[in-house]
Amino acid sequence: MVYVYFYRIRLLAPERDNSAGPLKWARLKRLPPNYYSGVSYMTDVFRKNQRMGGFHENRLIRCVREREKEIRTKHVIADVGGKTPSQDMKVDRWFLTRFSIENAYMGLCEEFFSLDGGPSAWETQTGKGNPFIATPLGGNTNRQLKINAQRIGPLFQGEYLASEGPTMSSVFDFWCMVWQEKVECILSVNFPHEERLYPALYDPSKETIQYWPIEVGKTVAYMPFKITCIDTRMMISPGIRAVKHNDMVYRVTQLRISYSNPIGEPEPDRKILHMCYYRWPDGCLPIPWPVTTASYATTALRIIDIIERELPQTSSSLLVHCHAGLGRTGVFIALDVALRQLFQNNTVNIKGVVEKLREKRARAVMNPWQYAYINVVVAEKALQCGALSPCVGGHNVRQLIDRMWADLYDEIHRQFQGNILTYTPEMMYSS
């Protein structure tokens, strides 16, 4: 098909090359795109635009497509200034390169700032960052979920769901995701309404709500889901119960979820084990407990022991959430994956683990002290299980780890001005 376009041309006067003549209508035939296929003087611009439908295609659309392609391939095409991928290291070598240098804490901070941040805000906002966007409702109908969550893994046989804390506007979608993914265990590293502890930043529409019942026999309904509390325990440590709220470190709740599908066959009820850890402030590290005798190091090892003993290994993904689903959630998942790598392969690559995590969950592990915390906890666990010798390269391993803990302790108190030790679950019940 040949298209005909009309346009006006200005004829030049014959006596002067640059003089303007009268306007005259002319007719121009637009030739088919394949007309230029045999022309020897075809340029790259001609070829590119011919493939895309000619010069008259919307240039803005082309720019957007090119930008999408550039973002999708940014991890595949390596340019001159690209970063080299991190590599797995034997435990001794990893420890020496991170802990034996003069200012080890600042070295880990620099490594944190060199990390790839993961998907951009543009990618996330265009729907590429959230796989939970289509939930089958029957009758060939899908509903779009509005819970900010991503699948992560499998990484060293660990699979996770990283999510934000359920709010008033997203709690239905949260339970819809739990049902859709057949979740059996939920780990909450924040507690409901903790945002009220920060009045300057408090926004009722964005706070994590009490989305599960904590009284035996009580049922909450987010139709078509009903969640019933079967059993609940306030705990100090495995086997030791808390009598008062301000003594509680974590709560373990056995839940039953039922789904009344209005358009499909009835489905059997499911059981979910829910664990809520109460002593991990937003943007910070887990608080030592008891405050007067414990340290960050002993607390970190206790948390690992609590998770291993309270949350059983299941065939489904472990759902982890905090308030935003980035800082504390990212720290826990990265730490769990790094320890799996340590035990399975006797190697460490925390930088690679965090970058792998950020490929799915942008900005996971939000600040340098959280990143340093992951490193020093892995070192503690490696020393405890014998993967790290007491003396490496002529260095006393215990002294280097203690030095890192001291630097981390100073940084936390500098950032939070010493107020962090007053943070207890009792504040939630008095707010």
Kindly report which listed range (53-67, 114-128, 269-283) carries the lowest average pLDDT score. Answer: 53-67
Residues of the chain with CATH 3.90.190.10: 91-430
Q: What is the mean pLDDT of the chain?
A: 79
- Residue 62: predicted pLDDT: 59
- Residue 212: predicted pLDDT: 96
- Residue 197: predicted pLDDT: 81
- Residue 245: predicted pLDDT: 87
Residue found by looking up tokens 């089958």 in the block: 136
| Between 277 and 53, residue with greater pLDDT | 277
CATH 3.90.190.10 fits 91-430, yes or no: yes
What does the alpha-carbon distance between residue 389 and residue 350 come to, in Å, rounded to a whole number? 19
pLDDT digits (tens, 9 = 90+) for 196-205: 887 877 888 8
pTM value? Answer: 0.76
What does the alpha-carbon distance between residue 77 and residue 242 come to, in Å, rounded to a whole number? 55
Q: Is 220 exposed, middle or buried (0-12, 13-18, 19+ CB in 10 A)?
A: middle
- Residue 39: predicted pLDDT: 44
pLDDT digits (tens, 9 = 90+) for 117-176: 765 554 555 444 454 444 555 544 556 677 889 999 889 888 999 999 999 989 999 999
Q: What HEC string does the chain produce?
A: CCEEEEEEEEEECCCCCCCEEEEEEEEEEECCHHHHHHCCCCCHHHHHHHHCCCCCCCHHHHHHHHHHHHHHCCCCCCCCCCCCCCCCEEHHHHHHHHHCCCCHHHHHHHHHHCCCCCCCHHHHHCCCCCCCCCEEEECCEEECCCCCEEEEEEECCEEEEEECCCCCCCHHHHHHHHHHCCCCEEEECCCCCHHHHCHHHCCHHHCCCCCCCCCCCCEEEECCEEEEEEEEEEEEECCEECCCHHHCCEEEEEEEEEECCCCCCCCCCEEEEEEEECCCCCCCCCCCCCCCCCCHHHHHHHHHHHHHHHCCCCCCCEEEECCCCCHHHHHHHHHHHHHHHHHHHCEECHHHHHHHHHHHCCCCCCCHHHHHHHHHHHHHHHHHHCCCCCEECCEEHHHHHHHHHHHHHHHHHHHHCCHHHHCCCHHHHHC
pLDDT digits (tens, 9 = 90+) for 18-51: 444 444 444 444 445 444 444 444 444 444 444 4
pLDDT digits (tens, 9 = 90+) for 317-332: 999 999 999 999 999 9
